[in-house]
């Protein structure tokens, strides 16, 4: 037989239905004859109001985990349509209300960063977890609808893909923690020079090189994976461990095809968010956040931000034009920078921000064709590459506030040109004698050019930066549950 039709909360309330609500007490109000508690469970910003006798409310305080069983009834209060008239209340576990660090009051983000293991219980932090989960689902849907294969490249690698020297080295040396915490082992102690893999290995800074291998096998691949950078940058945009969304596309010959994937994917993600419950709650949360934190975006600005992603097309300008635009703006007195924009120096964050705000008009902007000298070895030359100012077929996607959100390029797929570029970048390439060396060199990567090489390109998007941008949270340390950055590790 078909299931009975779902009842609305109101119909359930009229029927006097008995319910059990499991959750955490967000706040309690105790009066002479009656007590009220707001109970939340992280599934929504909303709480359920439960009504108790003073005796029932005895052990209740902010943070206590409870199971309240009672009758769901229409509420006489203004704040909610229905409430739970408690019959029984069970306190589910210990809670020390005197020392609980998340009392009901405003906490600064810096204070909350010292409590990553607890702060995700706060309604807004729970919402960010649901946002992360939902974005992952939208991204997965977009890629599977467009014939991309999700792959799982390795975390332990031998190459510093970006060549920035910001790798964490993997070590098999025994940890120097108290012996009581280590596994009892019969193995002889490790010698410090006893490298587990013979040659040094690193936590990956980017999956790109391995994605290139897999794209040549199945055409279009993507991954959302942890990446690691031993960057000492103390900024609201950098972490030591972050998630990167990367895609690689074989058989494309034009950079604009890669940019189109970025643009269409982000448009699909923003549209999905806009029409979702999580999206609605993010906008609702903005109204409250705003009161306590005057740096927070308003609800209207956040909605505009999403719309800016949904509307298109996004401007695409060359790096050369960007430098000219910046130089011109400085000369006109429209803006002042700490660093003078210079062709060979790359773009500083302040430059990226100005470009997004002035040319992107508050939305995203692609900057393409950067000078070869400031980009990694694997990038292919621009179509209009010239001898006096050689450029590469690459792009950065810049958005307001967050600045660089995505970096991508066409990859050099011709063997001689790639070898030359590796030599120019001081990498072991042409000079290596063994063609299939497992010594940490990039010989395996060169094999991809030796055998059935195809034109291809791809990109990497900072997933946590995307979360910042879409949620309006200005610091990446507040959208990652357990953030790690230089000299900071809390739990």
> What residue 447 binds from Mg ion, ligand 4AD, none (CB within 5 to 8 A, per partner kind)?
none
Shortest distance in whole angstroms from residue 114 CB to ligand 4AD:
20
Q: Which is nearer to Mg ion, 40 or 407 (CB)?
A: 407
Told to check if 460 binds ligand 4AD by CB under 6 A, we report yes
Q: Which of 52, 124, 143, 242 binds ligand 4AD (CB under 6 A)?
A: 242
DSSP string across 30-58 = E-SS-EEEEEE-SSSS--EEEEE-TTTTT
Cα separation, 302 vs 231, in Å, equals 30
Strand partners, 174: none
> What residue 210 binds from ligand 4AD, Mg ion, none (CB within 5 to 8 A, per partner kind)?
none
Q: Which is nearer to ligand 4AD, 206 or 382 (CB)?
A: 206
Is-contact 162 206, C-beta < 8 A? Answer: yes
Q: In 3D, which of 134, 470, 122, 136 has the Cα closest to residue 283?
A: 470
Q: Which is nearer to ligand 4AD, 284 or 401 (CB)?
A: 401
Q: Which residues, including other chains, have CB under 8 Å from residue 262's CB and lie 6 or more apart?
A: 397, 406, 408, 459, 461
HSE-up of 97 (CA within 13 Å, CB side)?
15
415, containing H or E segment: helix 415-424
Q: Which is nearer to ligand 4AD, 306 or 370 (CB)?
A: 370
Q: Which of 408, 429, 472, 483 binds ligand 4AD (CB under 6 A)?
A: 408
Interface characters, 189-228, with ligand 4AD (x: CB under 6 A):
-----------------x-x--------------------
Is 333 buried (19+), middle (13-18) or exposed (0-12) by CB count in 10 A? exposed
Q: In 3D, which of 126, 110, 127 has the Cα closest to residue 118?
A: 126
Binding residues with ligand 4AD: total (CB under 6 A)? 23
Cα separation, 218 vs 248, in Å, equals 10
> What residue 460 binds from Mg ion, ligand 4AD, none (CB within 5 to 8 A, per partner kind)?
ligand 4AD
Tell me the window of 94-102, 147-155, 429-437, 452-460 that interacts with ligand 4AD (CB under 6 A): 452-460
Residues numbered 361 to 400 that lie near ligand 4AD (CB under 6 A) are none
Cα separation, 466 vs 448, in Å, equals 31
> What residue 95 binds from ligand 4AD, Mg ion, none (CB within 5 to 8 A, per partner kind)?
none
Place of tokens 């000079």: 431
Q: Which of 231, 357, 401, 447 binds ligand 4AD (CB under 6 A)?
A: 231
Is-contact 147 219, C-beta < 8 A? Answer: yes
> What residue 246 binds from Mg ion, ligand 4AD, none (CB within 5 to 8 A, per partner kind)?
ligand 4AD
Q: Which is nearer to ligand 4AD, 25 or 467 (CB)?
A: 467
Q: Which is nearer to Mg ion, 364 or 407 (CB)?
A: 407
Told to check if 238 binds ligand 4AD by CB under 6 A, we report yes
Tokens found for residue 77: 């209060």
Q: Which is nearer to ligand 4AD, 206 or 474 (CB)?
A: 206
Q: Which of 24, 366, 459, 469 binds ligand 4AD (CB under 6 A)?
A: 459
Tokens found for residue 355: 């470009």
Is-contact 215 181, C-beta < 8 A? Answer: no
Told to check if 244 binds ligand 4AD by CB under 6 A, we report yes
Cα separation, 34 vs 226, in Å, equals 50
Rounded to 5, what percent of the chain is helix, strand, coil? 30, 20, 45
Told to check if 462 binds ligand 4AD by CB under 6 A, we report yes
Q: Which of 70, 407, 429, 472 binds ligand 4AD (CB under 6 A)?
A: 407
Task: Locate all alpha helices (DSSP H) within 76-206, ordered by sequence.
Answer: 109-113, 116-119, 123-145
Q: Which is nearer to ligand 4AD, 242 or 370 (CB)?
A: 242
Is-contact 272 138, C-beta < 8 A? Answer: yes
Q: Which is nearer to ligand 4AD, 72 or 142 (CB)?
A: 142
Strand partners, 72: 84
Shortest distance in whole angstroms from residue 437 CB to ligand 4AD:
22
Is-contact 338 348, C-beta < 8 A? Answer: yes
Told to check if 239 binds ligand 4AD by CB under 6 A, we report yes
Over its C-alpha atoms, the chain yields an Rg (Å, rounded) of 27
Binding site for Mg ion (CB under 5 A): 407
Q: Which of 13, 405, 418, 448 binds ligand 4AD (CB under 6 A)?
A: 405
> What residue 398 binds from ligand 4AD, Mg ion, none (CB within 5 to 8 A, per partner kind)?
none
Strand partners, 456: 250, 411
Is-contact 139 267, C-beta < 8 A? Answer: no
Q: Which of 119, 325, 456, 465 binds ligand 4AD (CB under 6 A)?
A: 465
> What residue 369 binds from Mg ion, ligand 4AD, none (CB within 5 to 8 A, per partner kind)?
none
Cα separation, 276 vs 257, in Å, equals 29
Q: Which is nearer to ligand 4AD, 72 or 354 (CB)?
A: 354
Q: Which is nearer to ligand 4AD, 289 or 352 (CB)?
A: 352
Name the residues that contact ligand 4AD, by CB under 6 A: 161-162, 206, 208, 229, 231, 238-239, 242, 244, 246, 404-408, 458-460, 462, 464-465, 476
């Amino acid at each position: 037989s078909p299931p009975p039709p779902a009842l609305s909360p109101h119909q359930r309330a009229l029927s006097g239905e008995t319910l059990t609500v499991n959750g955490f007490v967000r706040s309690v109000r105790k009066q002479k004859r009656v007590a009220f508690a707001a109970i939340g469970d992280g599934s929504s910003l909303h709480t359920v109001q439960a009504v108790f006798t003073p005796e029932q409310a005895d052990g209740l305080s902010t943070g206590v985990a409870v199971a309240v069983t009672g009758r769901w009834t229409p509420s006489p209060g203004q704040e909610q349509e229905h409430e739970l008239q408690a019959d029984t209340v069970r306190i589910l576990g210990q809670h020390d209300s005197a020392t609980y660090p998340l009392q009901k009051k405003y906490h600064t983000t810096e204070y909350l960063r010292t409590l990553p293991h607890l702060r995700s219980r706060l309604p807004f932090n729970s919402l960010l977890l649901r946002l992360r989960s939902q974005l992952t689902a939208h991204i997965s849907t977009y890629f599977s609808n467009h014939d991309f294969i999700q792959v799982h490249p390795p975390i332990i690698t031998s190459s510093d893909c970006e060549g920035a020297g910001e790798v964490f080295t993997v070590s098999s040396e025994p940890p120097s923690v108290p012996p009581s915490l280590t596994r009892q082992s019969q193995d002889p102690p490790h010698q410090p020079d006893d490298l587990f893999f013979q040659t040094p290995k690193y936590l990956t800074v980017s999956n790109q090189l391995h994605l290139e291998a897999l794209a040549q096998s199945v055409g279009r691949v993507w991954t959302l994976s942890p990446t690691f950078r031993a960057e000492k940058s103390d900024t609201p945009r950098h972490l030591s461990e972050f998630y990167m969304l990367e895609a690689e596309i074989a058989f494309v010959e034009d950079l604009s095809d890669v940019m189109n994937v970025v643009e269409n994917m982000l448009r699909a993600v923003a549209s999905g968010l806009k029409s979702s419950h999580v999206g609605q709650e993010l906008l609702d949360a903005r109204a409250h956040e705003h009161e306590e934190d005057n740096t927070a975006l308003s609800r209207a600005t956040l909605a505009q931000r999403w719309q800016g992603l949904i509307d298109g097309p996004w401007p695409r300008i060359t790096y050369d034009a960007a430098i000219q635009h910046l130089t011109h703006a400085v000369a006109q007195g429209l803006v002042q920078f700490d660093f003078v924009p210079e062709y060979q120096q790359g773009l500083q964050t302040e430059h990226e921000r100005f470009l997004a705000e002035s040319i992107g008009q508050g939305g995203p902007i692609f900057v393409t064709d950067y000078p070869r000298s400031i980009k990694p070895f694997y990038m292919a030359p621009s179509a209009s590459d010239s001898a006096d100012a050689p450029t590469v077929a690459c792009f950065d996607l810049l958005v307001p506030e967050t600045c660089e959100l995505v970096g991508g390029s066409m990859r050099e797929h011709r063997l001689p040109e790639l070898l030359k570029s590796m030599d120019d970048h001081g990498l072991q390439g042409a000079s290596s004698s063994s063609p299939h060396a497992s010594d940490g060199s990039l010989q395996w990567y060169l094999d991809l050019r030796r055998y059935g090489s195809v034109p291809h390109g791809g990109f990497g998007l900072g997933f946590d930066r995307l979360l910042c941008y879409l949620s309006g949270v200005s610091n990446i340390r507040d959208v990652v549950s357990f953030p790690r950055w230089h000299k900071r590790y809390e739990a």
